[in-house]
Amino acid sequence: MSRWLSHPEILLEQAAVHRGYAESGDLPGLARSVMEAACHNGSMTGPGPQAMEWLRHLPDSDRMELARIWAQWHAGAEDAWSGEAYRRDLAYFRAELLVVTTGVVRGLDHDVLAAERQAALAKLAGEYIAYGHRDWELAEAEIEAGRIPEAAVLATFRRTVIDYHAEPGLRELLTRFPGPVLNPGEAWVDQTLEDAAKGGEPWQRLLDHRAPVGAGAPSAKWLRTGRDLLDAAGPESVRRHVHRWFELVGQERTIPLRGSQGEGAYDPYNVQALRALAWLLSLLPPRHDTCDALARLVETSLRGLPHCGLHPVRVAEAGVVSLGRIGSPDARVELEGLSKRVTHKSVLRRVDRALAAG
């Protein structure tokens, strides 16, 4: 059940009304009842998952008739819409019609409102996050039909899960949505994806070993897996490539984003991979150039960028953690330098702790 509905008992009341229409064979009435519920409950809930599951267990002929009714309403929404009945504006009504129609014909007909579904998904490409009406359900239908939405749509959904909400349906979709291991559109990522494509599966698995969103430092289990992945990809080859990728961090985005964080925003999904790469460097034999690369990553991550609302502070913290784990004289020199230059309070506290531990 969606966590966005304040009073889930409402769904039970609505379900009883739906069943009454279905038992009497009044499909137009059922169509109205479901849409009234969807508009009442809000865009992140719609009719509710239980109601959609019930609708998909109706006879196939009834499901197709409901889809026909709703598709007809979608095509002539101005005539079907009633502000008094649905208490939403026309655009909202059309968006709900698209998602609910898509849901009721899942497994029956992949082509009902397919063009409209694809157009809605195309609008998501390049958005920082998805604010729409359960848009992941549209993507699910397209994937089932063998029409994989573009990688930019996947990128929007990945950012949404991290920065906005953890809706179970969206998380489940991401397990089945094929795409690149990172979200293209940042200079360092574009180069990383190019290099990893040449390195093959070991490099893809290395990049997929992401930092957990809530973890401030790598766990012992994470580090054990990381060592195995480094061995498979070639530790010194990884070192050379990661140094090169870090030099590209902070450059202007190659694909601007739309949204409140600005067109130059860091991608939070890629941030978790960048943190992981910083941690992985701490597993390699200590070297001056690696310590220097980590210190520069810390400072780059705290530097303001044009058209960007947020800085990836967690990346800076990961760089400090890695320097502390390395613990070599070169690492201490870099930490001492950061202690004099860094002004961000939480990062500076990590620098001080790393120096005290050394």
What does the alpha-carbon distance between residue 233 and residue 315 come to, in Å, rounded to a whole number? 23
pLDDT digits (tens, 9 = 90+) for 233-285: 999 999 999 999 999 999 989 999 998 788 888 999 999 999 999 999 999 99
pTM, two decimals, is 0.90
pLDDT digits (tens, 9 = 90+) for 140-169: 999 999 999 999 999 999 999 987 666 788
Rg (CA), the chain: 25
Where does the pLDDT of residue 358 fall: very low under 50, low under 70, confident under 90, or very high at 90 and above?
confident
SS3 255: coil
CB atoms under 10 Å from CB of 10, counted, come to: 15
What does the alpha-carbon distance between residue 299 and residue 32 come to, in Å, rounded to a whole number? 57
pLDDT digits (tens, 9 = 90+) for 297-334: 999 999 876 666 667 899 999 999 999 999 999 999 99
Give the HSE-up count for residue 276: Cα atoms under 13 Å, Cβ half-sphere: 25
pLDDT at 109 over 60: yes
pLDDT (0 to 100) of residue 1:
38
pLDDT (0 to 100) of residue 311:
76
What does the alpha-carbon distance between residue 10 and residue 232 come to, in Å, rounded to a whole number? 54
Buried b (16+ CB within 10 A) or exposed e, 129-143: bbebbbbbbbbbbbe
